[in-house]
Structure formats: structure tokens, C-alpha cells
Amino acid sequence: MKVLKFGGTSVGSVKNITNVKNIINDGNKKIVVLSAMSGTTNELVAIANHIKDENSNEAINKIHKLHEIYSLTIDELLIDKTLNNETKNYVSDIFSLLINSTYKPFSNILENTILAQGELLSTYIFNCYLKQEGIRSAILPALNFMRIDTAKEPDLPYIKKHFETVFNTAETSDVYITQGFICLDVDDKISNLQRGGSDYTATIIGAVIKAEEVQIWTDIDGMHNNDPRHVENTKPISNLSYDEAAELAYFGAKILHPQTVTPVREYNIPVSLKNTMNPEAHGTLISSITSENGIKAIAAKDNITAIKIKSGRMLQAHGFLKKVFEVFEVYETSIDMITTSEVAVSLTIDDDRNLDKIVAELEKFALIEVDKNQSIVCLVGHSVVNHEYTYKLFKILKDVKIRMISYGGSKNNISLLINADDKVKTLRKLNNYLFELVTV
């Protein structure tokens, strides 16, 4: 069986929902994971923030506006009177729940409950639409099987056991629909797999059922070799290895949740990235096959903070790095890049929620300098460190101030830390020299 995940844009308009129906209606049994309709989760985040700021009027305004959009979409999509009514009742209940949350004190659980409504809405509406179109479908409620453990990682044995029960007791269907992104935590409270987490839901289910393939359907022809928002003439990459895809997803290619390939790689389950608006396009196939050497793609990750840790006592002091890492461990902050010299260590983080506390701890034994607003630009490809152009990187980027460079951590990645203001210039320069073959 295959698992197909459709993103927000794919379920964001009646036209696209029709495309999705055509893609899945091929007579094969499948599992379909849906995101919330495009824009919904952002609106729900804004509503939760208004509640947090005790601005319930703004929250209520937003809830009403969103409700109107859903009513219009349902009228356009569901011509069948009974299904239309049934769906509107369900949707009204959800919007009443949202209105009720504006009277409650803010908490993380309240926020997560609000965020979960987007996927509950999209799956319910889509299921009713398939019924109207005569397709046998059933909902597998994600909150009955998807769960994270104390480390906020998916609890795979739990998910496997509960998924099987939910699947086996569902009405026999051709299309089994479930919610991406949402899950329960260890205390059985509503939680989620972080923004963009529907991709992760799809590969977790893929691993649990040993799927034949996981397909991630978005609004672009696969992963591109550079950021199409900043660079012209980017091209889709037809094949990526799991390692290359993981590096790209982690270092900024927005199309995939960073953890997407983790669950499926050990079972060798291919992940295909496809375009709902152009289903014929090949897209990107992620698998264990590594193809030709060289730089395949460039990606950038924003909002990076660099921390320089300087200590006279570091000289020949073993155990220094251990002391540094322990501080980051205590504050559950992961380090992305690291470089060292004899007198200083520079490292980067993207989660700066505990920055002040981390700096205060480090200052007990070292001098600290913090640079915010940095970007990591990352070059990815099988054996990228051996590419014939790699030695020219400094020349290509001679007028960009490179703050850190990481080379050799893996053969598939070279990362550069630069000022965020230089990002677009850097992406374009690299594109010209590496993919448009301007010579240096």
C-alpha cells in the first residue's frame, strides 16, 4: 500500500481538491494524509497568539472570518444537500470550540488544541467530498494512534500497535484518510509534530505499515536545486539519496519537514515529491540510490544565531568542549554548525529561546560574543567535498563575508555561515557558477 500526503495548497481550493480526487482515484487502496487547508494553521497560530495577549476581540474576529471562508468552500464543493448539512454542522462545532477557547486562560494545551483543528477540518470535508463522488473512504483518526514520547519523538511501537487497531476496525474502504501534523503527547494531551509536520506523519505511517512508497504532493515539481523564491531558473532535482534529502530538509529547503526521511530510510521505502497541479512531472525521487558526484542543490536556513566562546584556558585543555556541550544539553538546544580554533569555538543554533540562560552559563568560564541574524547556506550533493568547483568557492564568494565554514563533517555537505543580508546575493552567485556554469 502507498501513503500519499497532500499539503495545504493541494486541499486549499475546490479546483485543487478535485485534482487530488483524480490523483487518488486509481482503484488501489491507499492511505491519504492531509494538511490543513492553506493559510489555516497560520490563522490558528494568530488566534492562539491573540488569546495569549488577552485580545479576545481580535481572536473572535479572526475565527468568524475563517468560518465564513470554510462555509463558502463547503457550498462550492458539496452539492449533495445531506453531506453539505452534515459537514456544516461538524465545522460549526469546531468553530464554537474555537470561540469557547477565547474565554479560557491561555496554556500550551489550549494552543495545541486550537492548532489541531485545521487538519480535523480538512479531513472531514475531504472525506464527505469523496463520499459525494462515490469513492469508498474512511477516516483513521490520528489522535487514536499518533503519539510522541518524552523526547517528543514519535513512539513507533505505540503507533504501530494503535494504527493497526484503528485500521482494522475502520469501515472497508479504498481511501483511508488521516490527519497529518497532530498527535498526542505522553500525557495523552493534544500535541503536534511541529510546523510542516504532515510530511513526518506520512513517513511515520509509511514505516509502520512498510509502505511500498510514500508520496508527498505539494505545489512545486519536487525539490529544486536552489531557492525559487530568490533565484531564477531553478530546476527540480530528479533523484536524491536519503542523506542528501535529509541535509537539504534540515538546512532550509522549505518543501520538506526536516525529519521526513528518518522513519523510512531504514526500510528503504522510497519517498516521491510530486506536484498536485502537474501530476505528470517526474518530481524528486528520494531513495537509497546515490547518483553522480557533485553539487546538486543549494539551500539556506535563516534566523541563525552564532555564538563565539573564547577562553585562554582552552589551550590544550581537554574536557573544554564537553563543558560547552553540557550547557546546550541542559537547555535542550541543538547545535547546527561548529568550528574550533586554538583559542575559540564558534557554533550556531537556530532555537534561541534559551539564549540568555545559555550565555549566562557560558560566561562563567569563557568570553562570549553573540551574532544574531545569520544564515546558513548549505551545498549538498553526493561527495560534494570532491566536486571540481569546490576549490573555487572562496573565489566565487570573494565579496561575501563568510563567518564560519563547515567542510568534511559529511561528504555530502558544505555549510557556510553568512550575514542574513548577504543570503540572496550568495544564493545567486553560487547558482551562476555551479548550475549556470559561468566560469571563474
Q: Which residues bind Mg ion (CB under 5 A)?
A: 7, 196
Q: Does 196 bind ligand ASP (CB under 6 A)?
A: yes
Q: Does 258 bind ligand ASP (CB under 6 A)?
A: no
CB 345 within 8 A of CB 382: no
Among 10, 41, 102, 412, binds ligand ASP (CB under 6 A): 41
DSSP 8-state class, residue 419? E
How many other CB atoms are there within 10 angstroms of residue 226's CB atom? 22
Closest by Cα among 243, 116, 234, 89 to 184: 116
Which range of residues in 24-32, 189-197, 265-273, 401-409 is near ligand ASP by CB under 6 A?
Answer: 189-197
Largest CA distance in the chain: 77
**Nearest-approach distance from CB 142 to Mg ion, in angstroms:** 16
Q: Which is nearer to ligand ASP, 33 or 128 (CB)?
A: 33
- Count how many residues are written for the chain: 440
Q: Which is nearer to ligand ASP, 248 or 377 (CB)?
A: 248
Q: Does 210 bind ligand ASP (CB under 6 A)?
A: no
8 binds, among ligand ASP, Mg ion, none (CB under 5 to 8 A by kind): ligand ASP
**Nearest-approach distance from CB 276 to Mg ion, in angstroms:** 12
What cell was used for 292?
553522480
| Beta sheet of 367-380, edge-to-edge order | 335-340, 344-349, 297-310, 367-380, 413-419, 402-410
Q: State how far the Cα of 299 lies from the Cα of 249, in Å rounded to an integer.
A: 9
Task: State phi, psi for 138 to the nearest 5 degrees.
Answer: -145, 155
Which range of residues in 161-169, 190-198, 371-379, 424-432 is near ligand ASP by CB under 6 A?
Answer: 190-198
Which range of residues in 192-200, 214-222, 362-370, 404-412 is near ligand ASP by CB under 6 A?
Answer: 192-200
Among 64, 65, 195, 357, binds ligand ASP (CB under 6 A): 195
Q: Does 381 bind ligand ASP (CB under 6 A)?
A: no
**Nearest-approach distance from CB 405 to ligand ASP, in angstroms:** 32
Q: Does 283 bind ligand ASP (CB under 6 A)?
A: no
DSSP 8-state class, residue 369? E
Q: Does 252 bind ligand ASP (CB under 6 A)?
A: no
Which range of residues in 95-103, 196-204, 208-216, 404-412 is near ligand ASP by CB under 6 A?
Answer: 196-204
Among 3, 4, 6, 8, binds ligand ASP (CB under 6 A): 8
Q: Which is nearer to ligand ASP, 124 or 181 (CB)?
A: 181
Q: State how far the Cα of 28 lies from the Cα of 30, in Å rounded to an integer.
A: 6
Among 36, 59, 98, 299, binds ligand ASP (CB under 6 A): 36
Q: State how far the Cα of 290 lies from the Cα of 312, in Å rounded to an integer.
A: 44
- Residues of span 89-148 touching ligand ASP by CB under 6 A: 118
What contacts 36, CB < 8 A, 6 or more positions away?
A: 8, 11, 44, 118, 119, 121, 122, 181
Interstrand relation of 190-192 and 213-218 (parallel, antiparallel or unpaired) = unpaired
Q: Which is nearer to ligand ASP, 8 or 222 (CB)?
A: 8
**Nearest-approach distance from CB 199 to Mg ion, in angstroms:** 6
Q: Does 12 bind ligand ASP (CB under 6 A)?
A: no
252 binds, among Mg ion, ligand ASP, none (CB under 5 to 8 A by kind): none
- Beta-bridged to residue 419, according to DSSP, are 374
How many other CB atoms are there within 10 angstroms of residue 257's CB atom? 24
Q: State how far the Cα of 348 lies from the Cα of 377, in Å rounded to an integer.
A: 13
**Nearest-approach distance from CB 41 to ligand ASP, in angstroms:** 3
Q: Does 197 bind ligand ASP (CB under 6 A)?
A: yes
Its sign, for the CA torsion 417, 306, 228, 264, is positive
Closest by Cα among 44, 83, 48 to 65: 44
41 binds, among ligand ASP, Mg ion, none (CB under 5 to 8 A by kind): ligand ASP
- If 0-12 CB within 10 Å is exposed, 13-18 middle and 19+ buried, where does residue 173 land? middle
Q: Which is nearer to ligand ASP, 118 or 222 (CB)?
A: 118
Which range of residues in 33-41, 156-164, 312-320, 416-424 is near ligand ASP by CB under 6 A?
Answer: 33-41
CB 110 within 8 A of CB 51: yes
Q: Name the residues that contact ligand ASP, by CB under 6 A.
A: 7-8, 35-36, 41, 118, 180-181, 195-198
